[in-house]
Structures are given as C-alpha cells and as structure tokens.
Amino acid sequence: MENRAWDLVSHMTLEEKISQMKYDAPAIPHLDIPEYNWWNECLHGVARAGKATVFPQAIGMAATWNQTLMKEVAIVISDEARAKHHNFEKNGKRNIYQGLTFWTPNINIFRDPRWGRGQETYGEDPYLTSRMAVQFIKGLQGDDPKYLKVVATAKHFAVHNGPESSRHSFNAQVSNYDLYNTYLPAFEASVKEANVASVMCAYNRFRGDACCGSNLLLQKILREKWGFKGYVVSDCWAISDFYMKEYHHIVDTKSAAAAMAVDVGTDLNCGVTFAHLKEAIEKGETSEATIDTAVFRLFKARFQLGLFDDPEHVKWAHIPYDVVASPKHKQLTLQTARESIVLLKNDNHTLPIKKSTKSIAVIGPNANSYRVLLGNYYGTPTSYSTPLQAIMKKTNDSIEVKYAEGCEIAPGIPPFRIISKNNLYVSSETGAESGLQGTYFDNPEFKGQPAFTRTDTTINFTWVGKTPVTGKEADSFSVRWEGMIKAWKTGKYIIKATGINKIRLFLNDSLHYGFEGRDEPGSKTTEVELEGGKAYPIKIEFVSYGSDPQMHLSWAIPGQDLIKEALDIAKKSEVIILAMGLSPDLEGEQMPVKIEGFDGGDRTDLDLPDTQKELIKNISKLGKPTILVLLGGSSITFNFADAHIPAILHAWYPGEAGGEAIADVLFGTHNPSGRLPLTFYKSVTDLPEFDNYDMTGHTYKYFDGPVLYPFGFGLSYTSFQYKNIEISNNQISSDIPIEVKVNISNTGATGGQEVVQLYLRNETSDEPVPIHSLCGFKKVYLNAGESKVVTFQLNPETFGVINANGDKILDPGTFTLFAGGCQPGVFESRSTSGKTVQSKLYYKGKKTIILD
C-alpha cells in the first residue's frame, strides 16, 4: 500500500497534491482518481446519510460497561457504513457523509458535566474510555489483514472538553501529571492497541500552541513517542482560527497558518486554509516534500480501504445493502439501550411496576419526544419508540395509560406540535381541502415542470431511504407548499420549520425567515399574532441537496396550562411516570441556546430546569408511586427528586429503541445493569470553574466531597455479594503481571448482570495520585443463586504513577485493590451489590523504574 501511494503521489503536480489535502478532494481524471469527500460521522450509528440503525448516544453505550457489546455495535455500524457507501458509489454519489472515513470516536475525557459535547464521549474515566474506545475502533476498522473496513478517527487531540463558547480561542494549560494521567491515555491506547488509522486535532490551543499546529502533540507524542503511522485531520475550520483576530491569531496570514499546520503533521484540512499551501511554498514557509508526506498518508489510507482495487478482492465491498436497519441490527440497538439504563433509586420496590396496576399517567416533556432519543450526530431510523409509545404498547390496553406534556423542558422553550390538517387549508374557501398543496420538482432550483403536485395534510416528513420525487436515495429535489393557516384561538404563536438543507417560510405574503447550508436538521422560529378563526396565506419553500431529507412544520400554541393537565391525569392514576431531563435542543456542539442554565450548548447549572422541578414538586405532593425517568447526555442534579421520588432511572439519549428499552425496565422484562460512567454531583458550586483544566476537584478520582450518585453506581432487581479477593503474588515485580480473582454470587431471586469493578489505591506515593482509580471491569451474568470467579490481569504498569516530567514510574510502596459493584467506601449502603472486598500488595524494588 505504501509503495502504491508513493508512486501515485510522484505522478501528481503540486496543485493536484494540494487539492487532495482538503476534505472535499476533487477528481484527477488523468490519474483515474475519483473525487472523494473525507467527512463522515458514525458516533452511534452511521449519521446524516439517510436510514441507519441508531444506537444509544456514546455516553449511553459507555454506561453499559460492556466491552464485548461495544465491539458488536461497531461491527454493525461499519457493516452499514460499507453497504451505504457502495450503494452511493453505485449511483454515482460521492458527497459529504457518503465515504468510508469516519470522524469517530470522541474520546475526550468528560472532565466537567457542564460540557454539552460530553454526551459524545465515554465518560470521565481514562481507563473506561480507553477500553470502550479500543473495542469500538477495532469493530469499525475490521480484522482483515489487508484492507480496512472503514477508517476510525480518534478525536479531539488533545486536552479538549469545553467550554464550547471559547473553543476557538481557549488555551488549555495542564501539568504533565494531568496530561499523561487523564487527557492522553485513551488516545495512546487507540494508537498502540487499536491501530486507529486517523486522529483529529482539536480547536483549542495547548500550552500556547494551536492543537492542529502543536509539534509537541502531533510530532513528539503522537508520531515519535507512540509510533502513529496514520494521517491527522483538522477539526472543521480549526486552521482558520490560527490567523483570525477574534480567535487564536497566532499568525497573520492564511499561508502561514496552512504551513504551520502541515509542518507539524496535520495532513488533511476540514476547511479551506490549505488552499494557500502553494503560496506558503512560494514564500518559503513550507516545502513540497512536506506536502508529499501528507498526501502519501492520505492515499495510503484510500488504498487500505480498497478504493482503488477491484471490489471482487475487497471482502468488505460485498456487504449487502439490506443489512442497513435490518431486524438483527435493530435487536442489537434494543439490547444496547437496555444495558445502558442505570437504575439509581428503587425505594419500597417501586419497580418493576406491579402487574395489578390498573392505570398509569405518563407525564413530561421527554415522554413522547423523537429528538430526545437521538442526541447528536445521528442517522435516521426506519422506526422508533418513545417512552410513551412503548409503555402503551407494553400495556396493550390491559392498563389505562394517560399522557400529558406537563411543562416546558426549560423556561422559554415551549413544546412544539406538528401543525395538524385541521389548521391547514389548500385555499381560504369554505369546505376547502385540509392540508397544503405541495408542488414537487426533481431539481433543487424549482425549475421546469413539476414532477407532480399533491395535497399534503401535514408537513411532517422524514424521507427514509428514498426521496419523494425519483424514489432514489440522496437525489436532490425541491418542494413548494402553499395554502392557508388558521388558528383556533387568538394569541401569539411560535411557528417553527425544521429541516435539511434549505427552507424559506412566507406568512401573509412576507418572508419571515430562511436558512440554508445545514447538513443536519436545523430550525428557525417566528412569533406571530394570529386571530382565531382567520385564515392567513402561508408558503414554504424547501430544498434538499443531500442524503437525509427532512421537513417538519410545527408551532407552539398559546395559553396552555401544562401543569394543570398533568395533575388532572395524575390524580386519576395509580402510578405516575415522569419523563424529564435534558434535550439535544439544549445541550450539544456550539449551539445558539442562551437561556437560564444553558449557554451555547453547555450548561451553567447542573440542576433540572425550574419548569421541571416545579412539576416534580407538584406531583410529589400527591403521594403516589412515582418513577422519574431521566433522559439526557450528562449527569443531572435532582436533589429534591432524590429525596421525594421513590424510583429513579437514567436512560441517556437511548437511540431508536430507547422507549422499548425503558418500558422493559419499568415492567421488569429486563433487569437493569447500566452503571454511571460519570459522577452526579450535588451542586455546580462543588466544582471548580468550567475552564479550569486542572483535574483537582474533578471526577471521582480527585473530588473528595459528597456526591448525589458516584461514578460506577447502578442498582439491579437482584443482589450480589463479593467474597475472597485473591492476588497471585502480593509482591509486585516490574515485569510479571499480577492475577486478581474475586468470587461473586447472585444472592437475589432473579438472574441479572453485574459489572465487577476493580479499583486501585496507591497508599504511599510521594507523587500526586488519585483517591483511587478504576483498573479493571467485567460484565457478567449470573442466574439466581449462581456464583462465579472473575479474573483480572494487571500489568506492572498499572501500579506506576506519573511524575513531574510525564514519565510513568514504579516506586516502592503499598497498594490496595478493591473489587465490588461500585467504588470503595462511597454510597455502598445504596448498592444491592454489597460492600467491596479489598487486599493489599507491595512493591519493594530498591530503585525507581520508568515504565515505557
């Protein structure tokens, strides 16, 4: 592959080589090089490219603590990725989100729960993140000795985890101890163990240097110390930050920015700055030899993917398209969602819901939300289940189920509902047909004769798999909907249009808003005063350029008493289920949201929004069996609910099967086994400032105060007991692994999965050390009354500590190992897994040993 790549590079002109260093690389016909777009996403399923199996968001997958399952998920995702790519290619499509190079996984440490993108990570612990990342990358890239299945990309390198609002200008400063003990281990494991083919450098600066221009990160550590042989891609438009005055502004010109990035090893530009590389060479800022090396790395990856070989010889090219969203894949996402759910509280055996229950009230802004299933960076499921839908299906009319939204998800974020056919009319005449007239074109410019015209009763379309005009996937088209809109009562309405890629909305013959260029669902709103019973002209123009066309027209209706509606049905029901938490409309990547508790995609407070807290307080006064189901991408503070609601579970952003998984746990057809991959704090005031990257006071390893729920915590419907931790040799050697065994028994009345967690404490080091650190975990299933011996292998490096130079050293000392179903000494009274068992061991070497 390397020889072929170098040979191909040798036949290119300088201009051709530079053209291949941007994410949307053009074709070079005389060399038979087709165009290729490097930008693709598969964080928890193939994203933004039409139909796909949508798994729980990454933080939810981390909550499974199941490495085997993690690899199975990645194999499914890469199967769908290959099938979709070859289907696109067969139809002559080589656009964004259609290639085989995926900018996944995000393995930054979830240092602070305020970070909106923490949902994309595997939590706050470097060891858990490393183990999950290695399995995910291996599952994506495949096991073929010659060809990569897809390219995985470990991101964002490095020391990157918010705030979103300052990511283009922030300069992270951390000690060598924190750098090598917290921020780099997952990247090192991805390179050394998983052979990740690509790394994405981050937006921010590190120790003064932009991460995409950092010699320390990209040369000294990544390539020289770890031996990375793949290519580096910039985060999108990160290199522009080098010269922009409002951002890093570490150089003055575009050519200097491009040269700085490529000289330290950034090979591919998601952006446009590398277009100035020829100018940089002419100025002597970089050399053509440097360009050659970058282009060689890029083409080596394309050769490794088999993109220049006969598909007959590439086994990954034969995966059939019908695997996409197949029943087998859907079953795996259901299993993953089930295993991700964390049961936090279950007083008085409130759960599972009793079979004798006759009526249930399902209440909350997340109870029937499609968006809250998905998180961010998601594909389009062919089917899905919200909690409400799944509960109604589960009860199958045997239990009366009533629903109310209950409250706004946050102050100023009203509930939106699809505008129904009863409020839309083709014309203003009496007896006019309900809906809007849709005129469909087979091009994105509304040109020529329409392909067809029809009446659409509502504008609520997710065209999964096939576009409505040609019936093919990813064909461009446009639609113009026209007619009248009529409100039932007078008041201020907020009308929202959500879609991909371009929308313009006209109301009363004037343009109210338009937006375009989004490759994921974007939305805009307009507030209008409507007179009840009066019809107003409305027109919507919609254009789709890509492979995931969607269009939804909704509104927020004035004058609703949401809490009263909720209390009315709650009073008439035996059991109350509250579906609350966060939403991808509130937290995520660099968002325009700025309301109380939320800022630019991040959070300023960890509490549930005030609207939700008020609803919970009102419901709790009823004194009825109540279950709080939290959804969201991070830890949440809910001190009042914890004190007053008997049963609480966290379901994250659970994917397309999330509702069914939640219902399975609520009704006891699945025994919950998820464990928290991050700490749930009592208050945001317990944390250091958000932009303080020093690990002191962050995560379970360095926070020594009381918490709401600790890292690693989770309950079961059964109970487990630990006994007899055994260590093969309590005298540590510098070159012999230590075997640790622990006996676990299921002492309850039902079978269940337990996450056996192994923690290490260094009792004597003179260097800074964590309170304790996760060093092993295994998920096991035990039938009622069954016992198993679980075995761990610990390398001597496990017992090393990072010194001021960033070296890992093994000093003489005493260590304690703890095995159990949770952390040692924290909230064990809440855990049905019993107390941890522990044992000491020693290293009596007479000198410090540096561990490579």
C-beta atoms surrounding 145 within 10 Å: 5
The b/e string for 3-24 (b: 16+ C-beta within 10 A; e otherwise) is eebeebbeebeeebbbbbbbbe
Give CA separation, 6 vs 20, 196, 289, in Å: 14, 21, 12
For every residue of 309-361, DSSP letters joined together read S-GGG-GGGG--GGGTT-HHHHHHHHHHHHHH-EEEEEGGG--SPPTT--EEE
Supply the pTM of this predicted model: 0.97
Encoding tokens for residue 798?
A: 């496990």
Chain region(s) in the chain for CATH 2.60.120.380: 417-556
What is the DSSP pairing of strand 477-486 with strand 460-462?
A: unpaired
Adjacent-strand bridge partners of 774: 759
- C-alpha 138/C-alpha 149 separation (Å) is 10
Contact 365, 612 (CB under 8 A): yes
Quote the distance between the C-alpha of residue 665 and its chain's center. 23
* Domain 720-851: top CATH class: mainly beta
Which residues have a catalytic role annotated?
235, 587
Chain region(s) in the chain for CATH 3.40.50.1700: 330-411+563-691
Quick one: 446 exposed, middle or buried, by C-beta within 10 A (0-12, 13-18, 19+)? middle
C-beta atoms surrounding 287 within 10 Å: 14
* Domain 417-556: top CATH class: mainly beta
What number of H helices and E strands is found in the chain? Answer: 18, 39
- C-alpha 459/C-alpha 481 separation (Å) is 9
Mean pLDDT of residues grouped by 10 in the chain (852 residues)? 98 98 98 98 97 98 98 98 97 96 98 98 98 98 98 98 96 96 98 98 98 98 98 98 97 98 98 98 98 98 98 97 98 98 96 97 98 96 98 93 97 94 87 92 97 97 91 94 95 95 94 82 92 95 92 94 97 98 96 95 98 98 98 98 98 98 98 98 97 97 95 96 90 88 95 96 92 97 98 94 90 92 70 68 66 62
Instruction: Provide CATH code, domain 330-411+563-691.
Output: 3.40.50.1700
Quote the distance between the C-alpha of residue 850 and its chain's center. 36
Phi, psi of 724 (to 5 degrees): 55, 65
- C-alpha 684/C-alpha 112 separation (Å) is 10
Chain region(s) in the chain for CATH 2.60.40.10: 720-851
Handedness of CA 463, 467, 472, 473 (dihedral sign): negative
Q: What is the pLDDT of residue 839?
A: 85
What is the DSSP pairing of strand 153-157 with strand 198-201?
A: parallel
- C-alpha 640/C-alpha 682 separation (Å) is 11
Q: What is the pLDDT of residue 829?
A: 44
Encoding tokens for residue 316?
A: 């990954």
Q: Which of 591, 528, 562 is nearest to 406 (CA)?
A: 562
Q: Is the CATH number of domain 2-323 3.30.530.20?
A: no
Virtual CA dihedral for 275, 277, 278, 281, nearest 10 degrees? Answer: 170
Adjacent-strand bridge partners of 542: 479, 503
Q: List all residues 6 or more positions away from 513 whose beta carbon is below 8 Å from its beta carbon.
A: 497, 504, 505, 524, 525, 526
Q: Within 13 A of 784's CA, how many CA atoms are on the CB side?
A: 6
Q: List all residues 6 or more positions away from 457 whose beta carbon is below 8 Å from its beta carbon.
A: 421, 424, 434, 435
Q: List all residues 6 or more positions away from 852 whose beta carbon is below 8 Å from its beta carbon.
A: none
